[in-house]
Amino acid sequence: MHILFRRVRGVIGVALTWGTVWAAFGALLGLIYGALRPQDLDAGEGPARIAAILGTAGFVSGSGFALMLSLLERGRTVLDVSLARVALWGAAGGAVIPLLTSVADNQVFWTCPFGAFLATSSLAVARRAERRQLTAGAQGFAEGGKQ
């Protein structure tokens, strides 16, 4: 049960992170688009609305990525997972919304690279934290051995 809880917590954490990044991207996109081409935006379609839409899409895409990663890379540590494979799972996670919903399929041309970028960035952060934890553990062991 403990392992299942950790996996669910990990999927939710990744999904929330992706949702937040996608929402921030949507808000920025809405601000830029509203400043440069306001005539192309419908009534009520401002940065907040675009952020909400992309945040939801990012949450779903992040969930897809995290589920694929946890199932297909099971048994590997963060340090052992291939960066190329994580990019592939991220691109697949980015493709979830355009390919499985009524969103235009041509959106995969930006959602897949964005998903791959977020996936590899997530892995880089996780690897850095893992290395820092290993280093801290080794230092604590060395200091404990001196006493």
Burial of 24 per CB tally in 10 Å (0-12, 13-18, 19+): middle
- pLDDT class for 113, splitting at 50, 70, 90? very high
**E runs forming strands in the chain:** none
Q: pTM to 2 decimals?
A: 0.80
Across the range 54-75, mean pLDDT stands at 89
146 has a pLDDT exceeding 60: no
- In the three-class reduction of DSSP (H, G, I as helix; E, B as strand; rest coil), residue 102 is classed as coil
Domain with 35, as residue range(s), is 2-146
Count of structural domains within the chain? 1
Calculate mean pLDDT across residues 114-136.
Answer: 87
pLDDT score at 143: 66
DSSP class of 77: -
